[in-house]
Amino acid sequence: MTKSALQIARAAYMPKLPKALAEGPVRAVEGMPTQSVADQDEVKALFPNTYGLPVVTFVNGKAVKLPAMNVGVILSGGQAPGGHNVIAGLFDGLKKLNPANKLYGFILGPGGLVDHSYKELTGNIIDEYRNTGGFDMIGSGRTKLETVEQFEKGYEIIKELDIKALVMIGGDDSNTNACVLAEYFAAKHYGVQVIGCPKTIDGDLKNDMIETSFGFDTACKTYAEVIGNIERDCNSARKYWHFIKLMGRSASHIALECALQVQPNICIISEEVEEKNMSLDDIVTSIAKVVAARAAQGNNFGTVLIPEGLIEFIPAMKRLIEELNDFLAINQEEFSHIKRSHQRDYIISKLSKENSDVFASLPEGVSRQLTMDRDPHGNVQVSLIETEKLLSEMVGIKLAQWKIEGKYVGKFAALHHFFGYEGRCAAPSNFDSDYCYSLGYTASELIANGKTGFMASVRNTTAPASEWTAGGIPITMMLNMERRNGKMKPVIKKALVTLDGAPFKAFAAQRDRWAIETDYVYPGPIQYFGSAEVCDQPTKTLQLEQQMKK
């Protein structure tokens, strides 16, 4: 592998660990029994062997001689910065427990387990990928593990390789799959542990015990750098409004964090749109008012941050999409045979009156995007909906009408951006390098302590890494029942932006001023080498959330 100068320098970086893990050995201290976040009776019935387990915290303990074991690891779902360090931490932790331990990586995600595609991860391989972005060490995939046939096919290779534990590194759906797999193996008495690690740049996999998901820190810093560059260009040319869509299908954490870092003129928070029951026209009008107010000052430029999943949070659109998801889950075959020119009329004729009217009112391009192929979970692929162009077009139409009515004097020209893949494989920040390494190391200790159905947890993350607390939480603790592909299924409940939370309140207190003033912040590139106050700082979101708890 050819390495850049940065990669060579980063390979020498030694991730920091919580004191208990660094000093080792550890023992597990168990808390009180837990319950699911909602739908307790239904979840307990589905997970009789792994429900109600206690939260675990690791503290210093006595050395215990453990027999050698083989462990498997899977990268699942979309990429996130730091995944390689999770594997490195897992590898180093296993080798410290017993140098004879072996680690096998399944290729291209959960599908590698089912297809028996794997490779042993040796020290030489691990060393090539320390502190690097991407998931290319073993690749990732989105195969869902949910059928007995898949479980048994996976167990065949697990048994052949004499694997005693499997670590699933993924987001909410991937860790839900890990929970289901742990329950299945436990019910069958197969003697295979399953451990999860929290990954998603979207930031929506968190709770009191999972303070942040890995990759969020790096992705937001990467996006904030590029948005800052655009803001500087915007403030230099002074003639364009930049509509910037950001990753975040199910929550607005990335948009909010980036807003706190760069101070744009407008940032839409999907959860607020839903809470206030705003229509598409309400959103367009609010943007147009800011454009008009800035134009009155002679400033015909600005920046607008838009969460990727905004459309699904507009109540009328959400109801439409829910009915569309259920309808297409049942009638996809019939719909696929309808001529494209007739598909719009076909959908209008099949929906309820309210949703049919909303669908008919949409621009044809947007309505077509809403009926495109679903993702593996049966949901609209909102990343394919060009919300940034839809909003700028509608704002332009409204401003043109206001100009006729004498309510607006100015020029409006829009440029569009979507920042998504740019942040998923970025080289991890110091925070993510340390956090991910600690998660992997924690997973090795959960395995050593015989746990299954647990997610690695590293807490107190706004303190120096040596003061972090390592442990694990039962994945069933995070579950609730939701409708997927027309059926109720157990899934990890997504953590949305809370409007009474400290990050949103900090944003809301400043946004009216940011709207009118040009008070942009230009974060610049992620700084790896420098003073701790520059390169070791966690996200503003995490700092604000933890300050509120103290």
Concatenated DSSP letters of 301-352:
-EEEEEETTHHHHSHHHHHHHHHHHHHHHHHHHHHHTS-HHHHHHHHHHHS-
| Sign, Cα dihedral of 520, 526, 528, 533 | positive
216-308+386-420+494-550 is a CATH 3.10.129.10 domain: no
Of 248, 252, 247, which Cα lies nearest the Cα of 271? 252
The per-residue pLDDT for 5 is 84
Domains 19-215+428-484 and 311-382 share a fold: no
The per-residue pLDDT for 524 is 86
Question: pTM for the whole thing?
Answer: 0.92
Of 318, 319, 324, which Cα lies nearest the Cα of 343? 324
Structural domain boundaries in the chain: 19-215+428-484, 216-308+386-420+494-550, 311-382
The per-residue pLDDT for 242 is 98
Reading the block at residue 295, the tokens are: 């134009």
Q: How open is the CA angle 388-494-194, to the nearest 5 degrees?
A: 130
Angle between helices 540-549 and 253-262 (to 10 degrees): 100
Residue 66 vs residues 19, 29, 344: alpha-carbon distances, Å: 22, 19, 63
CA–CA distance, 372 with 64 (Å, rounded to integer): 55
The per-residue pLDDT for 4 is 81
The per-residue pLDDT for 377 is 59
The per-residue pLDDT for 512 is 98
CA–CA distance, 145 with 166 (Å, rounded to integer): 13
Provide the residue type at 471 as one letter.
G
Q: Are strands 469-474 and 479-484 parallel, antiparallel or unpaired?
A: unpaired
Q: Select the CATH number that applies to the domain covering 19-215+428-484 from these four: 3.10.105.10, 3.40.50.450, 3.20.20.140, 3.30.1120.80.
A: 3.40.50.450
Longest CA–CA span in the chain (Å) reads 81
Q: Which residues pair with 119 in a beta bridge?
A: 105
Concatenated DSSP letters of 453-520: SEEEEEE-TTS-GGG-EEEEEEGGGGEEEEEETTEEEEEEPP-PPPTTSHHHHHHHTTHHHHHHS---
* Low-confidence spans in the chain with pLDDT less than 50: none
Q: How open is the CA angle 254-258-263, to the nearest 5 degrees?
A: 150
202, 204, 217, 432: the catalytic one is 202
The per-residue pLDDT for 423 is 95
| Sign, Cα dihedral of 320, 323, 329, 333 | negative
3 state SS for 192-248: CEEEEEEECCCCCCCCCCCCCCECHHHHHHHHHHHHHHHHHHHHHHCCCEEEEEECC
Q: Is 458 helix (H, G, I), strand (E, B) or coil?
A: strand
Provide the residue type at 44 as one letter.
K
CA–CA distance, 66 with 63 (Å, rounded to integer): 9
The per-residue pLDDT for 375 is 66
Of 382, 372, 381, 538, which Cα lies nearest the Cα of 460? 538
CA–CA distance, 114 with 117 (Å, rounded to integer): 8
Q: Is 96 helix (H, G, I), strand (E, B) or coil?
A: helix
Number of C-beta neighbours around residue 345 at 10 A: 11
Residue 447 vs residues 18, 164, 206: alpha-carbon distances, Å: 18, 9, 22
CA–CA distance, 71 with 94 (Å, rounded to integer): 9
The H or E element containing residue 107 is none
Residue 202 bears catalytic tag: yes
| Sign, Cα dihedral of 289, 292, 293, 299 | positive
> Do the beta carbons of residue 175 and residue 75 sit within 8 Å?
no
The per-residue pLDDT for 1 is 66
Of 58, 153, 69, which Cα lies nearest the Cα of 110? 153
Number of C-beta neighbours around residue 126 at 10 A: 21
- Burial grade of 396 (CB within 10 A; 0-12, 13-18, 19 or more): middle
Question: Looking at the domain that runs over 311-382, which CATH code has it been given?
Answer: 1.10.10.480
